[in-house]
Amino acid sequence: MINLHNHTTWSDGYLTPQQLADAAVAAGLTHVGITDHYRTNKLGRSGKYVDLPQLLDYIVELRLLAKWYAKEIKVLVGLEIDFSARTQLEPLLTSQLLNQLDYVLFEYVADAEWYGHSLDKLLTIRPQITVPVGLAHNPLARNFELLLEAEDLVAILEDHAIFVELCPARRNAVFAPDGRPVLPYRYPTAYNEALWQAFSRSQVLFSIGNDAHHSTAEIGMVGDAWEFLREHGLLDRLVTEHFWK
């Protein structure tokens, strides 16, 4: 069991990194990822994000924490980027600091509701990032149905080595065409079914992250995403099996 999407007091989370790691150990996870928000105007007034001048300190502190916990759990050092005009990407890319992380999550890719940038734009910067890159809690079937055939979307993610996070948190549920809130990967449409069939035939990797912000109880709540991947025979495609075994 893994949870590679969590926030701490470095951004808008309530737990310190150490409290988060303790909760992950208590929940019996093998891997826990810390993915605080990089500076975004979404959190503009709060100041609750990691800005470029603090990014190196963030990485160094979390690397020390990872070392401290190494015998109990694998702590991974990530970052979540709001992929929209709310984020200034250029200085971040120029700093090369992204490549000191274990992985980078991009949220709101092709998400019209959040004015997210396109997947094409992500592909243009992808070569500058040498560590694993993933899409955070993306309702793929909602965001891409009108843009790309399911097969083509999967081929692009495969060709550019972009992994897909499954987020079982209710706070990231989306509304299905019938108005019910559903978890993004369980979007009840034919397109979504085609998408998961195409994923099965691909080499695309998957992560599980529940985007925890508030309590220790959230850290271990990843069962639904794990069950979904198991049902689809995709547990051997977990990013942790490939990068941080």
Note the residues at the interface with Zn ion (CB under 5 A): 80, 211
Please say which residue, 80 or 102, places its beta carbon nearer to Zn ion. Answer: 80
Please say which residue, 43 or 131, places its beta carbon nearer to Zn ion. Answer: 43
Please say which residue, 101 or 148, places its beta carbon nearer to Zn ion. Answer: 101
DSSP-assigned letter for residue 164: E
4 CB contacts (<8 Å, ≥6 apart)?
31, 32, 33, 35, 76, 78, 103, 165, 207, 208, 209, 239, 240
For 55, the token pair is: 């990014």
Q: How far is the CB of 136 from Zn ion (least distance, A)?
A: 6
Please say which residue, 145 or 211, places its beta carbon nearer to Zn ion. Answer: 211
In sequence order, what DSSP letters do the residues of 166-226 get, joined into one string?
A: E---GGG-EE-TTS-EE-GGG--SHHHHHHHHHHHHS---EEE---B-S-HHHHT--HHHH
Q: How far is the CB of 147 from Zn ion (least distance, A)?
A: 23
128 CB contacts (<8 Å, ≥6 apart)?
93, 98
Please say which residue, 63 or 213, places its beta carbon nearer to Zn ion. Answer: 213
